[in-house]
């Protein structure tokens, strides 16, 4: 005999077997235990509340921040013959009242609402009169201020719930939750540690790529030319960028739609519908687009600029490949992206503590763009979801372009010693300038043109030096203290490098799938030339920058 849940899965939904995590979540809920499920996008979280909602007596309340998604889910349930509805601001006041009365009369198995609904005393009063089967918080990361999409209205539901005499079992579901977010959700919703179902969230069909040093619009045009007819999303950082890229591509006859908060609701609806129904193949949008979009055949997601956090990056990129087919997630990085994100943090209304948190997340995002390790592993590590650690996925741009590497130890030693000699009080930009030997007024103002590492790497461009410093940070060979002006600091790994106990390998600069490897060639040539010059200039190995005594002293800061 098969369990009731399995039967519902097969007869109602027409699926043979549960996906990872689904059964455990459903069992927890049916047993009456509050539960948090962390599953990847497309992992099948909706079924986790739909099956218990069908099994248990009473009405299930599904709270979702995504009004656009409610109607689709309700339509799908209704087509299965299930009594379901949604109550939100897209309905007339009269229609809302009718549905509320029906809910009070117990006519629905499922009612979808937005978090704001809980601010209405009328709604709370109605809820008190209903026999409830469960309350589900979809996109539950929005409840936590550590989450990437914090919504105060979501959090303020909690005290209102406590007013309910008929409080049922509670579920939380999300695709992105760091340790902090998980503990926050559990504490708020009284979910026991043993009731967290976490399937991890590696998406084995996604290949991540970082593309640097390319003209972005040229890159996008050649990418689209090679992927005609494939459905994809291009995320830009601003509405203006969306508009101009849209103009550029549509002028060239490419089938594009655009979406951002500055467009009318009608325009957005149309753009979205055209994209979902494959009438247009490419959607150009700000991050206003996509939450709750269930389009299975998105073959690529291109980020035209670096987003603010890895959480939002992974969620947006994760809209590719929900059908399980191979899909590409490409991030087009340029150094200006960092400035833009800092500006956005400064402009925001967050308090200083919250800003500090954002800077910390931004730093991780910057590191992602500069690491030479496996990008998939980097992301999983970020979410503490890499049990085997240090793995290589074999699909990302770093894994694919790993054939050649260059020993950057000497240069790294110079950079690290420069950081130390600058008193560990400055950021990437100033450090690059000092190593370059820049004549910038600020350098002289701080007396940095007098230190021994001034101009030590003058054969390179400031851009290259900046890139290397970011790289060292990304590989954790150098630390940063985040803030509006993040400062560079040494860490234990830095000392190992300085003492010559550790080799710094830099892999072939990640090469875009389109374009030539000119940067790497330049790099090798420049390295050889500079090393030769330095050997001619002085008769000492250029990297012996600290005496043994100093190195010993440094080691003491970072005991084993």
Q: Which residues bind Mg ion (CB under 5 A)?
A: 45
Among 21, 44, 147, 307, binds ligand ADP (CB under 6 A): 44
Among 35, 36, 42, 176, binds ligand ADP (CB under 6 A): 42
Q: Are 514 and 226 in contact, with CB atoms under 8 Å apart? A: yes
Least separation in angstroms between residue 129's CB and ligand ADP is 30
Q: Which does 39 bind (CB under 5 to 8 A by kind): ligand ADP, Mg ion, none?
A: ligand ADP
- CA distances (Å), origin 47, targets 61, 100, 409: 14, 24, 52
Residues 289-348 that bind ligand ADP (CB under 6 A): 294
Question: Mapped to the 3 state alphabet, what secondary structure does 19-44 carry?
Answer: CCCHHHHHHHHHCCCCEEEECCCCCC
Phi, psi torsion values for 350, nearest 5 degrees:
-65, 155
Binding mask 6-25 for ligand ADP (x = CB under 6 A): ---------x--xx--x---
Q: Which does 510 bind (CB under 5 to 8 A by kind): Mg ion, ligand ADP, none?
A: none
Other CB atoms within 10 Å distance of the CB of residue 444: 12
CA–CA separation, 437 and 457 (whole Å): 8
Residue closest to ligand ADP when measured from CB atoms: 44
Other CB atoms within 10 Å distance of the CB of residue 30: 18
Q: Are 420 and 435 in contact, with CB atoms under 8 Å apart? A: no
Stretch that binds ligand ADP, among 38-46, 77-85, 90-98, 526-534 (CB under 6 A): 38-46
Stretch that binds ligand ADP, among 43-51, 188-196, 402-410, 463-471 (CB under 6 A): 43-51
Among 25, 34, 35, 41, binds ligand ADP (CB under 6 A): 41
Least separation in angstroms between residue 48's CB and ligand ADP is 8
Q: Which does 294 bind (CB under 5 to 8 A by kind): ligand ADP, Mg ion, none?
A: ligand ADP
Residue with Cβ nearer ligand ADP (102 or 294): 294
Residue with Cβ nearer ligand ADP (22 or 466): 22
CA–CA separation, 388 and 272 (whole Å): 40
Least separation in angstroms between residue 383's CB and ligand ADP is 16
- CA distances (Å), origin 351, targets 145, 345, 346, 364, 387: 12, 10, 10, 20, 35
**Is position 140 an interface residue for ligand ADP (rule: CB under 6 A)?**
no
Among 29, 36, 39, 477, binds ligand ADP (CB under 6 A): 39
Q: Are 166 and 90 in contact, with CB atoms under 8 Å apart? A: no
Least separation in angstroms between residue 480's CB and ligand ADP is 34
User: Which has the closest alpha carbon to 332: 176, 479, 430, 222?
Assistant: 222
Strand, coil or helix: what is 457?
A: coil
Q: Are 303 and 313 in contact, with CB atoms under 8 Å apart? A: yes
User: Which has the closest alpha carbon to 408: 511, 477, 333, 335?
Assistant: 477
Least separation in angstroms between residue 76's CB and ligand ADP is 8
Residue with Cβ nearer Mg ion (80 or 525): 80
Output the six-digit token pair for 235.
Answer: 């995320």
**Is position 474 an interface residue for ligand ADP (rule: CB under 6 A)?**
no
Task: Name the residues that contact ligand ADP, by CB under 6 A.
Answer: 15, 18-19, 22, 39, 41-47, 294
């Amino acid at each position: 005999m098969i369990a009731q849940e399995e039967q519902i899965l097969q007869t109602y939904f027409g699926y043979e077997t549960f996906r990872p995590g689904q059964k455990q979540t459903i069992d927890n809920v049916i047993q009456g235990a509050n539960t948090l499920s962390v599953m990847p996008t497309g992992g099948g979280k909706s079924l986790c509340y739909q099956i218990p909602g069908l099994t248990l007596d009473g009405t299930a309340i599904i709270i979702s921040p995504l009004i656009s998604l409610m109607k689709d889910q309700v339509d799908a349930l209704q087509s299965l013959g299930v009594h379901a509805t949604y109550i939100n601001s897209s309905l007339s006041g009269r229609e809302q009242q009718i549905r509320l009365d029906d809910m009070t009369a117990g006519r629905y198995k499922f009612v979808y609402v937005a978090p704001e609904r809980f601010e209405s005393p009328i709604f709370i009063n109605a809820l008190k009169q209903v026999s409830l089967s469960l309350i589900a918080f979809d996109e539950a990361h929005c409840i936590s201020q550590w989450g990437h999409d914090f919504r105060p209205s979501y959090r303020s539901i909690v005290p209102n719930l406590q007013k309910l005499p008929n409080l049922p079992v509670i579920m939380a579901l999300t695709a992105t939750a760091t340790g902090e977010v998980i503990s926050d959700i559990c504490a708020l919703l009284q979910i026991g540690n043993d009731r967290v179902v976490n399937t991890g969230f590696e998406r084995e069909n996604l290949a991540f790529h970082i593309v640097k040093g390319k003209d972005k619009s040229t890159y996008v045009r050649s990418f689209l030319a090679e992927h005609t007819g494939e459905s994809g999303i291009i995320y830009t950082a601003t509405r203006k960028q969306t508009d101009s890229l849209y103009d550029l591509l549509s002028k060239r006859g490419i089938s594009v739609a655009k979406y951002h908060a500055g467009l009318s609701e009608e325009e957005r609806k149309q753009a979205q519908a055209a994209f979902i129904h494959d009438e247009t193949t490419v959607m150009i949008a700000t991050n206003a687009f996509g939450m709750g979009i269930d389009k299975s055949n998105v073959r690529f997601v291109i980020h035209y600029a670096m987003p603010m956090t890895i959480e939002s990056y992974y969620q947006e990129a994760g809209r590719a490949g929900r059908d399980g087919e191979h899909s590409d997630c490409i991030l087009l990085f340029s150094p200006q992206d960092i400035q833009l994100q800092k500006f956005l943090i400064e402009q925001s209304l967050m308090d200083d503590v919250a800003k500090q948190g954002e800077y910390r997340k931004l730093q991780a995002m910057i590191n992602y763009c500069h690491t030479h390790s496996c990008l998939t592993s980097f992301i999983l590590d970020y979410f503490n979801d890499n049990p085997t650690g240090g793995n290589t996925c074999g699909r990302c741009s770093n894994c694919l372009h790993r054939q050649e590497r260059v020993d950057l130890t000497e240069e790294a030693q110079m950079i690290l010693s420069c950081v130390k000699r600058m008193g560990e009080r400055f950021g990437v930009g100033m450090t690059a300038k000092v190593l370059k030997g820049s004549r910038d007024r600020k350098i002289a103002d701080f007396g940095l043109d007098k230190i021994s590492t001034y101009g030590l790497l003058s054969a390179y461009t400031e851009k290259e030096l900046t890139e290397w410093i970011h790289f060292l940070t990304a590989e954790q060979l150098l630390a940063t203290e985040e803030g509006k002006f993040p400062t560079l600091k040494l860490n234990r790994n830095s000392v190992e490098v300085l003492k010559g106990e550790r080799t710094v390998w830099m892999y072939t600069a990640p090469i875009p799938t389109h374009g030539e490897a000119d940067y790497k060639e330049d790099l090798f040539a420049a390295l050889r030339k500079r090393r030769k010059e330095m050997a001619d200039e002085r008769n000492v190995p250029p990297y012996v920058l600290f005496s043994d005594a100093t190195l010993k002293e440094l080691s003491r800061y970072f005991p084993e």
